[in-house]
């Protein structure tokens, strides 16, 4: 991992590598590598300590919020034409127009129109005929995902679905069912730890403070008074 980090640093600072080392107080690349290894070991110990405190509730919460059936869908997106400067009446009218247009397209689908053709001709997101892969609970608008999940494969929504982007007509192509909590439980510990660290940038430092207190580690720095 240390070698990978150094390689990335060299890519980023390829013409200023020596200046980079000097700026951060390293007399050589080897000194930088030693510092990175030390930091990685410190983080590994902290993660192990945090992992010991992960509860069943933490695991279930992560599973419920992040693990879901993954869908492949097609969609047609109709956006409101209103802008930030539009009046409330103009915004309302634009919303109604977008909804009505989406409803009209659904009627065309009911009459046998081709979904991809309608997407290419009308959608604000017409790439690949509106095809989206890897649609899951964690990464997509909640209403969009719920509507897509409720469909059987080969079905489309019979009313427009509102999201933060506009009105969608969603066609569910296929799905990959989520693995059960019991199957994934052991693999979730590290994900929960990473999420906790991501949510609190000081957690590693606070954890080391707890470790020092727990094991009575007194660190004396002769350079500091």
- What residues contact 20, with CB distance under 8 A and at least 6 apart? 9, 13
Query: How does pLDDT run across 179-212, given as a tens digit for each residue?
Result: 999 999 999 999 999 999 999 999 999 999 999 9
Please state the pTM of the whole predicted model: 0.74
Query: How does pLDDT run across 134-178, given as a tens digit for each residue?
Result: 999 999 999 999 999 999 999 999 999 999 999 999 999 999 999
Are the beta carbons of 136 and 145 closer than 8 angstroms?
A: yes
Question: Any bridge partners for residue 75, and if so which?
Answer: 170
In the predicted model, is pLDDT for residue 222 greater than 80? no
């Amino acid at each position: 991992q240390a070698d990978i980090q150094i390689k990335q640093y060299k890519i980023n600072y390829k013409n200023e590598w020596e200046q980079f080392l000097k700026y951060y107080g390293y007399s050589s690349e080897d000194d930088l590598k030693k510092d990175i290894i030390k930091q990685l070991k410190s983080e590994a110990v902290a993660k192990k300590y945090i992992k010991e405190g992960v509860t069943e509730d933490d695991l279930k919460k992560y599973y419920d919020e992040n693990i879901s059936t993954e869908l492949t869908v097609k969609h047609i997106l109709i956006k409101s034409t209103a802008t930030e400067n539009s009046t409330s009446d103009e915004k309302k009218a634009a919303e109604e127009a977008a909804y009505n247009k989406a409803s009209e397209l659904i009627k065309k689908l009911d009459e046998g129109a081709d979904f991809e053709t309608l997407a290419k001709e009308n959608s604000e997101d017409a790439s690949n005929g509106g095809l989206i892969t890897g649609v899951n609970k964690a990464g997509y608008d909640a209403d969009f995902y719920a509507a897509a999940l409720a469909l059987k494969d080969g079905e489309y929504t019979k009313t427009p679905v509102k999201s933060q982007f506009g009105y969608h007509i969603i066609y569910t192509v296929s799905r990959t069912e989520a693995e059960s909590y019991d199957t994934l439980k052991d693999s979730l510990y590290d994900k929960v730890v990473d999420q906790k660290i991501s949510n609190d940038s000081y957690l590693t430092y606070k954890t080391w403070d707890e470790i020092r207190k727990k094991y009575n580690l007194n660190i004396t720095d002769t350079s500091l008074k």
